[in-house]
Chains A and B, each alone.
Chain A
Amino acid sequence: MSTQAWTFTIVGLTFALYVAIAIRARATSTGEFYVAGKGVPPLANGMATAADWMSAASFLGMAGLISFLGYDGSVYLMGWTGGYVLLAVLLAPYLRKFGKFTVPDFIGDRYESKVARRVAVFCAIFVCFTYVAGQMRGVGVVFSRFLEVSVEKGVLIGMAIVFIYAVLGGMKGITWTQVAQYCILIFAFLVPAIFISIQLTGNPIPQVGFGSRLDGEVGRGIASGAPWLLETLNQLHDELGFKPYTDGSKSLVDVFCITLALMVGTAGLPHVIVRFYTVPRVKDARTSAFWALFFIAILYTAAPAVAAFARANLIHTVDGARYAPATIVSDQDKSLPDWFRAWEETGLIAWIDKNKDGRVRYRAGAAFGDFEGSNKPAFSDKRGANGERMVSNPPSDGPNELYVDRDIMVLANPEIAGLPAWVIGLVAAGALAAALSTAAGLLLVVSTAISHDLLKRGAMPNISERGELMAARIAAAVAVVIAGIMGIYPPGFVAQVVAFAFGLAASSFFPAIVMGIFSKRMNQLGAVSGMVAGIAFTTGYIVWFKFIDTAPDAPSRWWFGISPEGIGSVGMLVNFAVALGLRRFGAPPSAATQELVEHIRVPES
């Protein structure tokens, strides 16, 4: 069977599975639609949370990102897992005891304020749409690359699948499809990781191989004196002029702030928080936080290993290799593997033969300058002397001749490792599972925010149960369509605003919820002004440095060297400080609210 036939078969089977689950798990009440009737067992909820959380970016992008960032990539590893500790001890058990449906529910009830609820609804919807556009785009890209359909058609197919199980099944349908999607995505991630680990280090466990010697079949060819994989990698980096792999180039304060912003942002993301409303008991909320991080950690500890393997393999196979097979004259000459040319055709690899020696030279620095404002390669129709695709970008002054898109690391892994065709099909299905599960979770938050927070608890308090369920379904359907449109016509700012989703969650929800639980005296005035100040500060800083001051030397003007990605942690502090400072000027919370706080603090009372 060809790669494409395998991909069609595996992706088709997984999609049939999702639809079958959706038909079996139809929601019949708002309770089932919003929180799966609070009947999800903690283990299943942990798996669903893991799939909900791990997006197309985690599955496809993260290992590639770390591969190019080395130590600096740790901010994502620690940031996106450490948030679960905060969730488990500061939020999940208490929000489960509170026992309503949404994050704005808690903020609105705890602070007895329609304004607070609306601010929370706005943030929730903004965060979700920022995030979901990338997921739909991811679905389209995977389709176009593996199944040779256009990105637009791919997005439409993805929309149809999400539509079926999110609109029909609500949270109940989403939960059980996410359980299936977790199994598929983790299997798809680990199979190539294990194969590559064996090839490079001889050890089948990637997390162990990461710290091992290069004793595998391929690894022995790479090892050059230094016994350990990481040592060899540092050596290779040194030879080619890169910073050592295990050393970073970001400033300490920036690494600190980005990690904190990602942790707190993770704990404040509404689609993650709401998963803890779906279990039967407070105890189960704690247990499912454990299972969630357990399942996430399997991928998150394998990803940096894959990153290091891919990095060593890339440098070793590509640097100094001759592009045209015909020019190979002696046994000493390396030839480029076929995957290099295959990915060049898709535009994710580009090579400029600056010194006309027919060999790929991979060094630190960009290979070429911007063309029409983009640093991506702009291919012309011409071919170079070796048969390579020519780019219109002006060559840079540096010695580097190679452009490699970070995203191909995971996608190209099976080919780099020479794995059978079905593994490639599996990776495509895994990437789709990761993107669809996250998209569905986000869209549900949007639909709940509209039908529950804006209609039932806002404009139409007398709406019937059936009416509310219908409104939730219509809102979900509209959200799917908007997400699809954003996937087909991605707004240019999406890449810039992902940092925004975390910054916003960190500077708005997290402090408001934590103070709502841990400070009985926190009142409406404090909380609302804290949220508004946190959001305004974070938004202002990100907009300024992402859209207004985009000069190359802008980083020298960052406050205390904190990048826009990390500013959410300062935003959080601003929120806390303003809330605690202004609290004294407002009326204390009512007796009923104080009782509510007492109530959520104790599992059974």
Chain B
Amino acid sequence: MNGPDRTSYWRANLRLIFSVLCIWFLVSFGAGIWGRKFLDQWHLPGTGFPLGFWFAQQGSILVFVCLIAFYVRAAGRLDKRFGVEEKVGDPGAKQDGKA
């Protein structure tokens, strides 16, 4: 992989990380903590959960799981697009730091 490719791979990767962390922040610190009181005026439809409380004790965790699933797929696609996905076999078995 040459220099410019490497840079644009890393840029795309940073964008992906940034968007994942935005959602991570919004559901936990946003909905579960800062906006909790405001959201509590509604209920999660069809349930007895005040919405902010639900985000703090259930929703944020469920979103975290989906978020990592999304990241795994998106990062895999990124690797493929730039041709840096690992070949089959076991390249990592080499135990020196540099491949």
Chain A positions within 8 Å of B, measured between CB atoms, are 31, 37-39, 66, 71, 73-74, 77-78, 81-82, 84-86, 88-90, 93, 96-100, 109, 207-208, 210-213, 227-231, 246, 252, 255-256, 259-260, 263, 279-283, 286-287, 289-290, 293-294, 297, 300-301, 304, 595-596, 598-599, 601-605
Contact = CB atoms under 8 A, between A and B. Distances in A.
Given A77-B56, A88-B72, 8 more contacts: A89-B21, A97-B92, A280-B90, A280-B93, A281-B91, A286-B76, A297-B61, A601-B10
B65 A78 contact: no
A38 B48 contact: no
A229 B49 CA distance: 9
Contact of A230 (B48, B65, B76): B48
Contacts of A259: 28-29, 33
Contact of B62 (A37, A73, A289, A301): A301
A602 B44 contact: no
A39 B93 CA distance: 8
A290 B90 contact: no
Contacts of A300: 61
Interface string B67-98: 11101100110010000111100111111011
B86 A282 contact: yes
A84 to B, nearest CB: 7
B53 to A, nearest CB: 4
15 contacts: A37-B93, A38-B92, A71-B53, A73-B57, A77-B57, A99-B94, A228-B47, A246-B53, A263-B28, A280-B92, A282-B86, A289-B68, A294-B65, A301-B61, A603-B79
A602 B84 contact: yes
Given A99-B92, A99-B94, A596-B97, A246 B61 contact: no
Contacts of A213: 48
B64 to A, nearest CB: 5
Contacts of B86: 281-283, 603-604
Contacts of A281: 86, 90-92
Contacts of A297: 61-62, 64-65
Contacts of B95: 31, 38, 99-100
A100 B94 CA distance: 10
Most buried by B among A210, A213, A599: A210
Contacts of A82: 24, 28, 60, 64
A231 B48 contact: yes
A231 B67 CA distance: 31
A93 B99 CA distance: 15
Contacts of A207: 58
A78 B90 CA distance: 35
A78 B34 contact: no
Given A31-B95, A89-B20, A281-B86, A252 B33 contact: yes
Nearest to A77: B57
A97 B53 CA distance: 39
Nearest to B75: A286
Nearest to A601: B10
Contacts of A212: 47-48
A230 B49 contact: yes
B56 A227 contact: no
A96 B20 CA distance: 20
Contact of B92 (A73, A89, A96, A286): A96
B47 A99 contact: no
A286 B71 CA distance: 8
A603 B33 CA distance: 36
A70 to B, nearest CB: 9
B61 A78 contact: yes
Nearest to A106: B97
Contacts of B69: 290
A462 to B, nearest CB: 18
A486 B75 CA distance: 44
Contacts of A98: 97
Contact of A283 (B13, B16, B36, B76): B76
A364 to B, nearest CB: 20
A74 B56 contact: yes
A229 B76 CA distance: 43
A293 B90 contact: no
A601 B61 CA distance: 28
A322 to B, nearest CB: 32
Interface in B9-67: 9-10, 13, 16-17, 20-21, 24, 28-29, 32-34, 36, 40, 44, 47-50, 53-54, 56-58, 60-62, 64-65, 67
Contacts of B94: 99
Contacts of A93: 75
Contacts of B36: 71
Contact of B68 (A66, A293, A603): A293
Nearest to A100: B97
Can you list the 9 inter-chain pairs with the closest CB atoms, starting with the nearest? A228-B48, A211-B47, A74-B56, A211-B49, A304-B57, A246-B53, A290-B68, A281-B86, A85-B24
Contacts of A263: 28
A90 B68 CA distance: 12
Contact of A78 (B32, B68, B91, B99): B32
A401 B90 CA distance: 64
Given A99-B95, A246-B40, A293 B48 contact: no
B85 A603 contact: yes
A516 to B, nearest CB: 13
A27 to B, nearest CB: 15
A10 B40 CA distance: 44
